[in-house]
């Protein structure tokens, strides 16, 4: 201390806020006001679009009493993981937009600001369907409520959907290795789709002079250029084709 400045060690505060300062020198008093620093937010973790636990890191969070809003919604169940610097709370399921949501941490009238985004979509499995086309089930997480879905570069019309499962309809086609994309406002989920392999239920016979053989089954496709047939070691040229009869 000197005539114009003194320093003192202050204990931690559970709630922050403003305090009255009194300095006594001999039998005289001086008064002022003191405020704890406002909360600052360094980072906010993501969670899937169905909602979940979010961790917020920063400083001047106090020991209790913080309220957190993500977007316009109160983040529920605030708990302190590390005093003054790390708290967690539970955010609800998403509604558009999914990214750039304002995070406000309020403590005793002081506010800290940050930003939150839901996690991008993830695809864990994609079902197959016959070559005539049909419903495909895409499973994963963080699909959100507004998304664009393509299979093999073509739109897949949504039949039903949730944050973890989408059923959409693909058109006719053949083969495997078709890219599946689920696009939301925060990224793309990627997977691979394959049409069901061909199966044979019956094959007609012909005389030894040769002739037209009818092969009946499923998932035979409808594009002659994509089909190769051999009987024994001899090629069999495709004359006509549909998804169940060649």
Nearest to 178 by CA among 217, 133, 223: 133
Mean pLDDT of 228-236: 88
Residue 219 to residue 221: CA distance in whole angstroms: 5
pLDDT, position 246:
62
Residue 98 to residue 95: CA distance in whole angstroms: 7
pLDDT, position 245:
64
Residue 216 to residue 149: CA distance in whole angstroms: 33
Provide the 8-state DSSP code for 156.
-
Residue 182 to residue 25: CA distance in whole angstroms: 70
pLDDT, position 75:
96
Nearest to 213 by CA among 189, 232, 186: 232
Mean pLDDT of 10-36: 81
pLDDT, position 1:
64
Residue 23 to residue 15: CA distance in whole angstroms: 23
Find the helix or strand (DSSP H, E) in which 32 lies: strand 28-35
pLDDT, position 43:
96
**Tokens coding 221:** 């496709």
β-partners of residue 168 are 136, 158
DSSP string, 87-126: EEEEE----S--SSEEEEEEETTEEEEEEE-PPPPEEEEE
Contact 119, 126 (CB under 8 A): no
Q: Above 90 in pLDDT, residue 6? A: no
Give the CA radius of gyration of the chain.
Answer: 32
pLDDT, position 119:
94
Q: 124-158: per-residue pLDDT in tens?
A: 999 999 999 999 999 999 998 878 999 999 999 99
Q: Above 70 in pLDDT, residue 243? A: no
> Going by DSSP bridges, is the β-strand pair 110-116/101-107 parallel, antiparallel, or unpaired?
antiparallel
List the Cα angle 120/154/124 in 5-degree steps: 35
What 3-state DSSP class applies to 40? strand
What average pLDDT does the structure give for the chain? 90
Residue 174 to residue 132: CA distance in whole angstroms: 9
Q: 45-97: per-residue pLDDT in tens?
A: 999 999 999 999 999 999 999 999 999 899 999 999 999 999 999 999 987 66
Residue 107 to residue 28: CA distance in whole angstroms: 34
Residue 188 to residue 51: CA distance in whole angstroms: 18
pLDDT, position 33:
84
What 3-state DSSP class applies to 226? helix
Q: 31-47: per-residue pLDDT in tens?
A: 888 888 899 999 999 99
Contact 40, 16 (CB under 8 A): no
pLDDT, position 57:
98
């Amino acid at each position: 201390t000197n005539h114009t400045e003194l320093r003192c060690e202050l204990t931690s505060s559970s709630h922050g806020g403003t305090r009255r300062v009194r300095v006594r020198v001999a039998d005289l008093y001086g008064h002022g006001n003191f405020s704890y620093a406002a909360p600052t937010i360094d980072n906010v973790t993501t969670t899937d679009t169905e909602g979940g636990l979010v961790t917020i890191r920063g400083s001047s969070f106090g020991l209790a009493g913080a309220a957190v809003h993500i977007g316009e919604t109160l983040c529920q169940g605030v708990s302190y993981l590390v005093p003054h610097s790390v708290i967690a709370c539970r955010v609800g399921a998403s509604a558009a937009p999914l990214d750039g949501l304002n995070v406000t941490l309020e403590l005793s009238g002081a506010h800290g600001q940050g930003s939150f985004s839901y996690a991008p979509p993830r695809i864990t499995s994609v079902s197959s369907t016959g070559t005539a086309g049909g419903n495909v089930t895409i499973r994963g997480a963080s699909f959100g409520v507004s998304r664009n879905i393509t299979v093999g570069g073509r739109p897949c019309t949504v039949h039903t959907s949730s944050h973890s499962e989408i059923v959409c309809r693909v058109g006719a086609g053949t083969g495997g290795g078709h890219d599946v994309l689920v696009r939301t406002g925060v990224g793309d989920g990627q997977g691979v789709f394959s049409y069901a392999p061909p199966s044979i239920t019956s094959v007609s016979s012909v005389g030894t002079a040769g002739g037209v053989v009818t092969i009946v089954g499923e998932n035979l496709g409808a594009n002659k250029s994509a089909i190769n047939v051999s009987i024994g070691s001899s090629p069999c040229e495709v004359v006509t084709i549909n998804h169940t009869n060649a």
